[in-house]
Amino acid sequence: MVEIGCHGSPFVQQQVIKACIHKGARLAKAGEFTQRAFLNGKLDLTQAEAVADIISSNTAASQKTALNNMRGGFSKILKELRENLIQFSALIELELDFSQEDVEFADRTKFYELINDAGSVTKELLQSFQLGNVIKHGVSVAIIGKPNAGKSTLLNTLLNENRAIVSEIAGTTRDTVEEIINIDGILFRLIDTAGIREHSTDVIELIGIEKSREKIEQSDEVIYIFDVNTESPAELKAAVELIAEKNTNYFSVGNKIDLMGAGAAAEKFAGTDALYISAKEKDHIDLLKQRLVDKIVSGNINTENTIITNARHYEALQQVDRSLSDIKAGLDNNIPGDLLALDIRRCLHYISEITGDISNENVLDYIFRSFVSESNHPSFCFVNACLC
C-alpha cells in the first residue's frame, strides 16, 4: 500500500493520478475494495451494501442506520436465524434416514417456538422498511391550497430564503417549485404548487393546477394550507374531503393568523384538526415542523435498532416471512418430515440470498456498480505497479 499526500488542487491531484497510471497503476472500480472484502468473506452482502449507503448518506440518521448495518446489526439477526434453521433442518433430515423406525429427533414444540420467534423478528424488520425508506430517501411534501393562501410564503419561511415568488396576485405560482430541507435528521422535499381554483381561463395556470392535483397523489404527505380570513368552514371541509380521496396522508394548516388571531381562527373552524400559523410572521412554524416529523415517524428515530432500508432485503424478507408461515402451517398440520425439510430449505435459500451466501454475478454487479464512482474519491488499485 502506498499513500500519497499532495496539495489539494484538483489539477495537482489529476497530475499525480496521471503519473501513477503511467507507471502501471489503474483506478479502482466502483466499490472494488468492498467487493474484495465480500469475496474474501470479511463482509457479508448486507454489510457491503451498507458501505454504499454510508457513502451516499446525507443525514445523521441515514449515516447511523447504515453504520449499524455495516457493523453487522442486520447480519447478526440473519445469521442467528439461519443457524437455528439449519440445526433443525439437519435433525429433520436425519429423521428421514430412519424413516422406517418412526423416530423424532427434532423437538416439534421447540421448533414451533423458534419459528414463532423468527416470524416476529422478520415482521419487525419488514415494518422497519417504511421508516428505513424515509431515513434513506426522505419524504415528499406537497403544499396545496387555493391561490393566495400563502403556499409560496410557507415554502420560503421553511427554507429561510426567498426561493419562490410571492405576490398578492392570485395565480402567481404556475409551475411546481421543489426544495429540500432537513428537519430533525429527516429530509423533506417540499413542493410548492399552483393554487387550485375552479374557474380559470388562463391556459398556463390550468396546466399548473393539473400538476398540483397530480402532486396530491404522488406525494408522501400533503399540507392543505388555507387563509383563515377568507376560507369558510364549508369550503375547508369540501377541500379536505377532495384531498382525502386522493391521499390519506394530509393535514390542514390555517394561515395568516396575524390578521385574525389563533384563538378566533380555532373558533371559526371548530371541529377541524387544523394547525394555525402565520407563514409571513413566522408564527408557530416550529409546531408545523414538529407536526411534519410526528406524522412521518411516531416517536424518536432509534437508529440503534436494525432498520431495513434496502428494497432487495425487503423483498427477500417477505419471502422468508412467507416460508416461515408455511413451515408453521406444516407443523400445525403434522406434515411429513420431507415436506417440512423442503419448506425450511426454501426459507434458508431466501436468507442466503440476502446475506450473499447465494448470489449471482448480475446481482453483485448491480450492487457494486451503485457505489459512488472513484472519480469523486480516487482510490487506486496497483497492479504490477512500479513506482520508482
313 binds ligand GTP per the rule CB under 6 A: no
**Binding of residue 156 to Mg ion (CB under 5 A):** no
Q: List the x/- string, 249-268, binding to ligand GTP by CB under 6 A.
A: ------xx-xx---------
CB-based contact 131:301 (threshold 8 Å): yes
Q: Is 307 an interacting residue with respect to ligand GTP (CB under 6 A)?
A: no
Tell me: does residue 279 bind ligand GTP (CB under 6 A).
yes
Rounded to whole angstroms, how far apart are CA atoms 122 and 248?
A: 27
Nearest to 367 by CA among 1, 55, 16: 55
For position 57 contacting ligand GTP by CB under 6 A, the verdict is: no
The burial class, CB within 10 Å (0-12 / 13-18 / 19+), for 54 is middle
- What single-letter DSSP state applies at residue 148? T
Dist CA 115 CA 81 (whole Å): 9
When asked if residue 64 is in the footprint of ligand GTP (CB under 6 A), the reply is no
List 173, 278, 303, 309, residue binding Mg ion (CB under 5 A): 173
Least gap, CB of 153 to ligand GTP (angstroms): 3
Q: Whole-angstrom Cα distance, residue 275 to residue 294? A: 13
Q: Does 193 bind Mg ion (CB under 5 A)?
A: no
Nearer to ligand GTP, 32 or 281 (CB): 281
CA 205 to chain centre: 34
Cα distance between residue 14 and residue 25, in whole Å: 14
Choice from 13, 130, 172, 318 touching ligand GTP (CB under 6 A): 172
DSSP annotation string for 262-300: HHHHHHHTTT---EE-BTTTTBTHHHHHHHHHHHHSSS-
**Residue 153 interacting with ligand GTP (CB under 6 A):** yes
153's contact among ligand GTP, Mg ion, none, with CB below 5 to 8 A by partner kind, is ligand GTP
Q: Which of 64, 82, 136, 151 binds ligand GTP (CB under 6 A)?
A: 151
Report the interface residues with Mg ion, using CB under 5 A: 151-152, 172-173
Report the interface residues with ligand GTP, using CB under 6 A: 145, 147-153, 166-168, 170-173, 194-195, 255-256, 258-259, 278-281
